[in-house]
């Protein structure tokens, strides 16, 4: 089964994972409408790991995926809309979040050359095939 904890086998770079861990902790304990992180499902199959992430309102160009040293990193950002004005009147409430968001997951035994991703209807799907044993 995949290890989904924000730790590393060695201690080099351990602190890189702390912001992600705190984001997750905050997301689990304060379920409000702000976007602190994006929801993800991770499924292990016999031949691959299947990751699905909800990214509504993000454009494909603003989503970046990296797999390095067994760590899958997904960064997504939305541009600041600070100069956005209501066409007729003023905003009473403005809740749509902007900024950058990151999720990291650790996986063992992934065939890095065969990873593939697809983004459709606000859902990012990533297939991480396992190395043959």
pLDDT digit string, tens, across residues 49-107: 999 999 988 999 999 999 999 999 999 998 766 556 667 777 777 777 678 889 999 99
- The answer, yes or no, to whether residue 8 has pLDDT greater than 50, is no
Q: In whole numbers, what is the pLDDT of the chain averaged over residues?
A: 79
Q: Which helix (H) or strand (E) holds 22?
A: helix 18-29
Contact 74, 62 (CB under 8 A): no
pLDDT reported for residue 67? 97
Query: Does the CA dihedral 42-75-97-124 come out positive or negative?
Result: negative
Domains and CATH numbers, the chain: 35-79+98-132 (2.60.40.790)
Q: Return d(Cα 53, Cα 99) in angstroms, integer.
A: 17
Percent of the chain with pLDDT over 70: 67
| R_g of the chain computed on alpha carbons | 17
- CB distance 44 to 1 below 8 Å: yes
State if pTM tops 0.85.
Answer: no
């Amino acid at each position: 089964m995949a290890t989904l904890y924000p730790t590393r086998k060695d201690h080099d770079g351990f602190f890189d994972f702390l912001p992600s861990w705190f984001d997750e902790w905050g997301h689990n304990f304060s379920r409000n409408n702000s976007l602190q992180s994006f929801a993800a499902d991770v499924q292990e199959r016999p031949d691959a790991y299947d990751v699905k992430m909800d990214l509504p309102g993000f454009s494909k160009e603003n989503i970046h995926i990296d797999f390095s040293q067994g760590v899958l990193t997904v960064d997504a950002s939305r541009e600041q809309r600070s100069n956005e004005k209501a066409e007729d009147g003023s905003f009473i409430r403005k809740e749509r979040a902007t900024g950058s968001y990151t999720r990291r997951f650790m996986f063992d035994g992934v065939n890095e050359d065969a990873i593939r991703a697809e983004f459709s209807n606000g859902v990012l799907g990533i297939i991480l095939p396992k190395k043959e044993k």
